[in-house]
Chains A and B, each alone.
Chain A
């Protein structure tokens, strides 16, 4: 199978043999694929500046199965700002999550477009935490793990902004007074409702939602913690 000029981002890459690389790509129409790029680590390779994470590139490959052969890669015409400073750890953080949550060959055009938007917006280094939380929420929703942020689990009772809830993953919030499970995360109705609206302007809301998302993301990622968290200083 040959694919020409497919829009893609590099999620991860590592050296292979002396001058080659294995590249983990997130492509628009083919989802996540792994490709071997021959000779791109050699001293003369012109691809070094192109094959970098967070750059919008166009790739052509041939072959099928687990590892395809990269034939060509060039920068896309779409202008993408460079990530610098505090935006860089955020980029790696999201890449690590995508690498672990997206299955190979599952097509996610919407997530691809949202990811591109996210990279553009991270570049200004403003409100990074909010952008990460909203992307995580969107990602989980697209993957079929949508959070219940509006109603009590098991009933259609709307959440009350002034009450406290326990959040049960895959079920939702339950009034804290009714259950006395101390190991569960307590979160205010206001935080859940604000997050539902995509409003994370309140600092307390942000803090609570950070704990919530940390727990939820960890649940779907499995036991291994996210290494990129260590990059935030």
Chain B
């Protein structure tokens, strides 16, 4: 059975969402058309607005419709602390978990030379200019504990060293409530080498 051309277009367009295949796209399209036209109209309006106006913060590169994002524009933040993360979602996660007082810098990815992503593609020249200004005193490297995240952190820590900025890396180890027996060797090795003195 084939749908009308416009309906097919809608179903096709919905498939750009992550985790949405042909069947779910069809369900969404029918739901919006049959039960929630108002919601759909709002969605389309907001979607258009967002796509047109949301860009990147000129200071930290996170997603923002203003020149400066809310974090960077907030005068109450501690400007000497800078936390480097891979994605805007990481900013949310950290913000909710620890209520970080400093500013963020969002790389929008990690160093991955075989995918053609080098320091320049991550806006590290922007970060370097910022370190050069001397406002930042400590940089916290919160990239993911993958080989690429580790490489990115290492690169930035060397850069920070050149400007006399102290760099620290998030610790990694055994998850809360975890059991050693079921933890992969890599994590265990990291946890072991990064052990902390007690008492």
Contact = CB atoms under 8 A, between A and B. Distances in A.
B25 interface: no
Interface string A28-52: 0000000000000000001001101
B155 A233 contact: yes
Given A18-B18, A49-B186, A230-B120, A54 B114 contact: no
Interface residues of A, number: 31
Contacts, number: 67
Interface stretch (A78-86, A131-139, A144-152, A190-198): A78-86
A215 to B, nearest CB: 20
Contacts of A46: 184
A67 interface: no
Interface residues of B, number: 26
B114 A96 contact: yes
Interface in A1-56: 11-12, 14, 18, 46, 49-50, 52-55
A198 B134 CA distance: 45
B184 A231 contact: no
B151 interface: yes
A99 B151 CA distance: 19
A153 interface: no
- Scoring B117, B184, B189, B190 by chain A CB atoms within 10 A of each residue's CB, the highest score goes to B184
Interface of B: 18-19, 111, 113-120, 146-147, 150-151, 154-155, 158-159, 184-187, 189-190, 193
Interface of A: 11-12, 14, 18, 46, 49-50, 52-55, 75, 82-86, 88-89, 91-93, 95-96, 99, 226-228, 230-231, 233
